[in-house]
A and B are shown apart, each in its own frame.
Chain A
Amino acid sequence: MKILVIEDESELRQLICNTLKKDNYVIEYAADFKSALSKINDYDYECIVLDIMLPGGSGLDILSYIRGQKIDVGILIISAKDSVEDKVIGLDLGADDYLAKPFHLSELTARIKSIIRRRDGNTIMSISLGNVEMWPDSHHFKVDGKDVDLNKKEFALLYYFLINKNRVVNKLSLIESVWGDNIDQADNYDFIYSQIKNVKRKLKLAGATIDIKAVYGFGYKTIEL
């Protein structure tokens, strides 16, 4: 599984590379327009993380080049230009998803994994950890081979935890991902606690070998028991 990260800002590039390496992806990177194009021509990638503003050219031109050459690769645009037009243009040109900077690394990982899963053309592909298995597209969840019922929010939460299994997931990124971008400034996090309590209870009842551990006041981490 090879991923190309095209981002000119070295600090951010390293962060993205490092976080993706945790999920055992092979990461390559390009810091400008030219080297990005030559990398795309020379190697095959599963997914490309593409910044729009690059030295030497626009990421959108790389995008249209890739689609013009019919190169089969998933593309996630990461842009600081959080403008509707860019998003529309990017998706029109054939990007798979669009993520505005600044983003949570856990959200980036979730988006990339979702792109890769969808591009495999194999929507029945599942995510598994320990004895639990999840089919995100068909909304199925099994513990030890047995179906476990989860409501929409519980499912979304658990999906986010499983996909970020090696990371501490911050509660703010959790809210943004599960409840949406418009829910900020919550002054009380009880609603997450109660949903997570339900998920934990259901996991325990079904005899799952994973658990969601709170990391002090910061967030949660999914661990294998």
Chain B
Amino acid sequence: MKLIQNTFIKISAFISFIFIIWGVFFYFTIFHEVIDETDDILKNKKMLIIKQVINNPELLKDHDGALLSFSIEELPENEKISFKDKFYNSTRYVEIENENEPVRVLETSFRMNDNKNYKLTLMLSTLEQEDLTETIVGYTLVLYFLFLIVTFIGTRIILKKSFSPVIRLLEWMGSIIPGKKIPQLINPTNIYEYKELNNAALDMALRSENAFNSQKQFIENASHELQTPLAIVMGKLEMMIDDDNLNEIQVNHIQEIFETLNRTVRLNKSLLLLLKIENNQIGETSDVSFSSLAHKITEDLSEIYSYKSINLSFTGDQEFVYKCNMDLALILVSNIIKNAFIHTPMDGFITINISSEKFIVSNTSNNSTPLSPDKIFTRFNNDRYSSNSNSFGLGLSISKSIASAFGLSLEYSFYDNIHSFIISK
């Protein structure tokens, strides 16, 4: 959820709460005030009527009015009377409109000069009161929605404006790529916290750049330190073998040392490659056709593994093109294809299916158990390579690293005794 939405929702919830409380309070206050006012009118009228009636007993008879009506009836002499005013709400039937309308009623009693008691009932239509209530509720709602709109626009404008340094900072942070130079941070602001945030972010970026560089430097140094002695040993062995006086046993020993040395060389290279990929040192990118890579690789591999009589076939429209580094793409694809060649049994099948979205290398298996999906891409997973002492179990792990560095996915699946490695965009 965006900050703006979040703030708006919280503010509007708060406003709703305040408005409900205030609306209820306001409604009852006004209502009470109106009834008070009505009762006052009724009291005044009562005084007037009683005065007039006392002066002019004729008026004891009929006296209906449109808004204010009253009736006077004589009370039996023996009835105990109260001269107190009694107010209540009631309804009155209106003929013209053929409906009941709400009224406020005042009942009181008075005594005429002839000592007779009369009950006076005064009614005042409270139609206006309902109108008033409606108006109050209506205008409260209007005000409420007005407030919501204003808040919505206000939070948008204010947050957008006051958060623009944060958004700029986020964009800047997103543009930092490890191993590349840190872009300049242009984020002017007068707000103290934002200034601090800018400084902290810049400081952190510089520190991570330093850490990255020193790590890179370390890798390079380690590489240098190790590669040179390896080169020396290798060269010495090559010089040694040129000696014609060596016998077969000696040559075989040298060959064994040479092969072991070669494994060390390859291990070192593989580890450096992995570190390099994980440091995102991907290098230059271009549009790489995976199908031409696959054709090139299989040409050599078919020759090398010709003794296995593997049936190799290409299917699909051969259109997998991806923008990435050529050298790394070659390693990615060749490790997977090589893996297939190594593990396909004699007379087995390898199928390379290439479409615009997927690059799939499948090979037949000599047993029906799938490989452990958790382990195949793990470094130094040697389980499946037990037959080959020349392998470190790094090939697929390197492929996986390259794929994720490229933003491709590399998955394994097993179906119907066929292992498949799927690269997809």
Scan residues 90-111 of chain B and give those whose CB is less than 8 A from a CB of chain A: none
> In the complex, A44 Cα to B232 Cα: how many Å?
28
Q: Is B199 an interface residue (CB 8 A)?
A: no
Q: Is the CB of A187 within 8 A of B388?
A: yes
Q: Is the CB of B342 within 8 A of A217?
A: no
Interface of B is mostly: helix
Q: Of B252-260, B347-355, B370-378, which binds chain A?
A: B252-260
> In the complex, A109 Cα to B252 Cα: how many Å?
24
Given contacts A15-B236, A85-B283, contact A80 B227 (CB under 8 A): yes
Q: Of B4-12, B113-121, B298-306, which binds chain A?
A: B298-306
Scan residues 319-358 of chain B and give those whose CB is less than 8 A from a CB of chain A: 325, 327, 330-331, 334, 338, 342
Q: Of B78-86, B238-246, B411-419, which binds chain A?
A: B238-246
Q: Is the CB of A218 within 8 A of B241?
A: yes
Interface size on B (CB < 8 Å)?
Answer: 51
Q: Is B176 an interface residue (CB 8 A)?
A: no
Q: Is the CB of A217 within 8 A of B272?
A: no
Q: Is the CB of B281 within 8 A of A84?
A: yes
Q: Is the CB of A84 within 8 A of B283?
A: yes
Say how far B345's CB is from chain A's closest CB, in angstroms.
Answer: 13
Residues of A within 8 A of B226 (CB): 80
Scan residues 121-159 of chain A and give those whose CB is less than 8 A from a CB of chain B: 153
Given contacts A172-B258, A187-B342, A190-B306, contact A81 B223 (CB under 8 A): yes
Q: Of A23-31, A57-65, A177-185, which binds chain B?
A: A177-185
**Residue in chain A with minimal CB distance to B276:** A83
Q: Is A56 an interface residue (CB 8 A)?
A: no
A interface footprint on B151-172 (CB within 8 Å = 1, 0 otherwise): 0000000000000000000000
B interface footprint on A1-43 (CB within 8 Å = 1, 0 otherwise): 0000000010110011011000000000000000000000000
Given contacts A82-B272, A179-B300, contact A19 B235 (CB under 8 A): yes
Q: Of A68-76, A97-105, A110-118, A202-210, which binds chain B?
A: A97-105
Q: Is B295 an interface residue (CB 8 A)?
A: no
Q: Is the CB of B390 within 8 A of A187?
A: yes
Q: Is B220 an interface residue (CB 8 A)?
A: yes
> In the complex, A141 Cα to B284 Cα: how many Å?
38
Interface hub of A105, A153, A194 (most chain B Cβ within 10 A): A105
Q: Of B15-23, B35-43, B262-270, which binds chain A?
A: B262-270
Say how far B123's CB is from chain A's closest CB, in angstroms.
Answer: 99
Scan residues 117-175 of chain B and give those whose CB is less than 8 A from a CB of chain A: none
Q: Is B228 an interface residue (CB 8 A)?
A: yes
> In the complex, A141 Cα to B364 Cα: how many Å?
42
23 contacts across the A-B interface (CB closer than 8 A): A11-B232, A12-B232, A16-B235, A19-B238, A53-B224, A85-B283, A88-B284, A102-B234, A103-B234, A104-B238, A166-B242, A167-B238, A168-B238, A170-B238, A170-B241, A180-B300, A183-B338, A184-B262, A185-B390, A185-B391, A188-B304, A215-B251, A218-B251
The 5 closest A-B pairs by CB, nearest first: A102-B231, A15-B235, A80-B227, A84-B283, A80-B224
